[in-house]
C-alpha cells in the first residue's frame, strides 16, 4: 500500500478504535492479518471451545487451522459434510462457547458495530452467551454512520454473500438490495451495538487490510 493511502487507512482505523473504547469495547488496530492472528492467540488456550460465525474474514486469517492444530474444539457450522441437524446443533453451541470469533458487517466512525443476519446465531452470540467475543474487521468495513452501514450491508455484503452461497434471492442476481420478500431472504435481523453489552467481553480488532465482504 502506498504511504498516502496507508496514512488514510491508519487515521480512520485509529479513530474507530478510540470511539469503540469510549463505548466500553476493548479495541486495537493492527496493520495486517498476521498481527490479527497473533492478537487472537493471546486470548485463547487449547482447552477452550471456540465458536466461529459465518465469516469470510475469520477464515481468510487462517486462524482456524492454528486453533485446530493446538487442540481447540471448534464449533464451525461451515465444516463440509454436516447434516442440517448437526449444523443447527453447532449454531446453538456457538452461543455458549468459551470464545466466539466473528467479523462485523460494518463499523462506524462513531464506534458502533452493525450486523444483519438471516438466521441470528451470529448476532445472538455477539450480544450474550460466549465467555469472550473477538470481532475482526478489515478497514473496508469502516463507514460514516449507521445508515451508511446498513446501506453497505444490503448493497455490498448481502449480495456478495448470497452470490457466494448460491442463494436464490434478487440481490444475488442484480448486485443490490431490492428489499425482497423472498423466502430465502438473508437480511432479517439488524443488530447495532451502540455500546458493549454489559455482560459480554468484546474485543474488536481493526485490521489495516481489506478482509471479507
Query: Could you give the domains of the chain?
Result: 3-207 (3.40.50.10420)
Closest residue by Cα to residue 153 from 209, 112, 119, 114: 114
Tell me the pLDDT tens digit for each residue of 30-77: 999 999 999 999 999 999 999 999 999 999 999 999 999 999 999 999
Radius of gyration, alpha carbons of the chain = 17
Contact (Cβ atoms closer than 8 angstroms) between residue 12 and residue 6: no
d(CA 128, CA 145): 24
pLDDT higher than threshold 90 for residue 167: yes
Residue 116 CA to residue 1 CA, distance in Å, equals: 30
Residue 188's nearest CA partner among 177, 176, 200 is 177
CB atoms within 10 A of CB 19: 17
pLDDT at residue 1 greater than cutoff 90: no
Judging by DSSP bridges, how do beta strands 113-117 and 189-193 pair with one another?
Answer: antiparallel
Amino acid at each position: 500500500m502506498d504511504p498516502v493511502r496507508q496514512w488514510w487507512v491508519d487515521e480512520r482505523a485509529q479513530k474507530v478504535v478510540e470511539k469503540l473504547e469510549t463505548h466500553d469495547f476493548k479495541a486495537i488496530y493492527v496493520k495486517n492479518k498476521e498481527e490479527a492472528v497473533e492478537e487472537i492467540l493471546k486470548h485463547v488456550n487449547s482447552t477452550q471451545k471456540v465458536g466461529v460465525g459465518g465469516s469470510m474474514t475469520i477464515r481468510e486469517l487462517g486462524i482456524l487451522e492454528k486453533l485446530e492444530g493446538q487442540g481447540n474444539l471448534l464449533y464451525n457450522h461451515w465444516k463440509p459434510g454436516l447434516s442440517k441437524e448437526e449444523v443447527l446443533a453447532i449454531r446453538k453451541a456457538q452461543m455458549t462457547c468459551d470464545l466466539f470469533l466473528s467479523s462485523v458487517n460494518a463499523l462506524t466512525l462513531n464506534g458502533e458495530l452493525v450486523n444483519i443476519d438471516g438466521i441470528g446465531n451470529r448476532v445472538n452470540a455477539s450480544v450474550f452467551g460466549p465467555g469472550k467475543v473477538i470481532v475482526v474487521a478489515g478497514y473496508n468495513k469502516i463507514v460514516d454512520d449507521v445508515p451508511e452501514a446498513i446501506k453497505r450491508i444490503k448493497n455490498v455484503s448481502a449480495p456478495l454473500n448470497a452470490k457466494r452461497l448460491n442463494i436464490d434471492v434478487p440481490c444475488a442476481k442484480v448486485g443490490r438490495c431490492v428489499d425482497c420478500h423472498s423466502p430465502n431472504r438473508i437480511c432479517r435481523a439488524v443488530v447495532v451495538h451502540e455500546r458493549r453489552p454489559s455482560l459480554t467481553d468484546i474485543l474488536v480488532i481493526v485490521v489495516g487490510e481489506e478482509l471479507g465482504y
